[in-house]
């Protein structure tokens, strides 16, 4: 459980930055070189590479170097960690609202 939470923390940290979200969005259309991705960002290449490393460290993207070109690919499977957590949260809150609705309904019936 602790490892899962650590993974989730890293994923949310990686996704919290607008530059990294833009990279994820772009890679959703297909692989791209670091150079292509960096041209869309308004920063120096070394600064942009820090964002690439955060995404790669958290396994949201994979990079592969061929000659002088490093290509980034989205790791779609990694998003299942976030999707699973969100599904658990939805179930938890649905159960809570169902109990609240039942409580309110029962209270109204008792006062009638």
What pLDDT, in 10s, does the model give residues 35-46? 999 999 989 999
Domain that holds residue 96: 2-111
C-alpha Rg value of the chain to the nearest Å: 21
**pTM of the prediction?**
0.77
Residue the block writes with tokens 């960096």: 38
pLDDT in tens, 86-105: 998 888 888 777 666 666 77
Question: Other C-beta atoms within 10 Å of 1: how many?
Answer: 5
> At 44, is the secondary structure helix, strand, or coil?
coil
Q: What is the domain-level CATH number for residue 15?
A: 1.10.10.10
In the DSSP assignment, the letter for residue 43 is: S
Question: Is 90 exceeded by the pLDDT of residue 57?
Answer: yes
Query: For the chain, what is the domain count?
Result: 1
User: Nearest CA to 34 among 59, 56, 7, 12?
Assistant: 56
Separation of alpha carbons 52 and 63, rounded Å = 9
Per DSSP, what are the bridge partners of residue 61? 74
């Amino acid at each position: 459980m602790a490892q899962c939470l650590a993974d989730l923390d890293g994923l949310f940290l990686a996704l919290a930055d607008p530059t990294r979200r833009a990279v994820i969005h772009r890679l959703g259309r297909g692989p791209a070189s670091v150079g292509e991705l960096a041209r869309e960002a308004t920063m120096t290449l070394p600064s942009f590479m820090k964002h690439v490393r955060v995404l790669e460290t958290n396994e949201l993207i994979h990079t592969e170097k061929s000659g002088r070109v490093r290509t980034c690919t989205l790791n779609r499977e990694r998003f299942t960690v976030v999707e699973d957590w969100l599904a658990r949260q939805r179930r938890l809150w649905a159960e809570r609202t169902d109990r609240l609705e039942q409580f309110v309904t029962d209270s109204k019936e008792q006062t009638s």
